[in-house]
Chain A
Amino acid sequence: MRNAEPMKERPGAAPAEPTAFALELPSDLRLIDTAITYLVTRCREYHFAGSRLTLNFRVGVAEALANAMIYGNGRDPSKRVRVEVELDPQRINVRVVDQGKGFDFTELRDPTLPEHLEATGGRGLFLIRSLMDEVDFNECGNCIRLTLYREKQQRPLAS
């Protein structure tokens, strides 16, 4: 796992200056937790906290990494996943890019419907969309961009 040098901690108010860094991981599912732990530490240093960080960010980004490794890179350990993070006082932006041919993100099934409740899969993308404030994909589907605001946003009526 490669990364930039750690940012200096600034106690007190949230840092005003945006910062950015990136990680590259081989497609090894066992590395996801290590990567998430590192990302959460960086966000904490930037004064993000609470369940927005421990639930929304952790689970949302972990799902995106798993999708990139499993569906994007086909679990091929020689293929890498790049994670680009931008932090500013209002939001966390994460781009997860894999080396696959793309994934069909338009297929949506509601896993909370009674007929799907006992399905063993099909909750990953649902969780990403539910936990992150903004979710976008590039055209070919090998890049997902996630945005999480420091404060909970009002959801638009249409999604």
Chain B
Amino acid sequence: MSFQTSKQDGVVVVDVDGQLIVGNRQELKQKVLDELEGGERKFLIDFSNTGYIDSSGLGVLVSLSKKIREQGGELRLANLNEDLRTLFELTKLDTLFNIADTREAALSGF
């Protein structure tokens, strides 16, 4: 399980490789907050290689989204598989986040 960050078209892209759950969510949170403190404002989390997300993982995404918005930035999500889509719909978090089908679609409108 790991989180790889890269910069693409002025956007910080984080790839979640594995799960985003209670055991590793702090690592993601710290990585994104470090970038936010460093002045970055546009963030995209790519779930292409993600297995599952638990309630703690969802909580971290909500928390990061709020913190980024408070700084005038935006957090977008991309490449949710069918299970993850269902999870976001079940919790109605699909109404809270900008969720794109692909990384390119998410980056294009930033």
Contact = CB atoms under 8 A, between A and B. Distances in A.
Interface in A101-159: 111-112, 117-124, 126-127, 130-131
A84 to B, nearest CB: 21
Interface residues of A, number: 28
9 contacts: A32-B21, A32-B22, A33-B23, A55-B52, A55-B86, A63-B55, A123-B55, A124-B56, A127-B91
Contacts of B82: 51
Interface magnitude class on chain B: 20 to 34
Interface in B52-110: 52-56, 58-60, 62-63, 66, 82-83, 86-87, 90-93, 95-96
Nearest to A29: B23
Interface of A: 29-33, 51, 54-55, 58-59, 62-63, 66, 70, 111-112, 117-124, 126-127, 130-131
Contacts of B23: 29-33
Contacts of A122: 55
Given A29-B23, A54-B83, A118-B62, A62 B54 contact: yes
A130 B95 CA distance: 18
Contacts of A63: 54-55
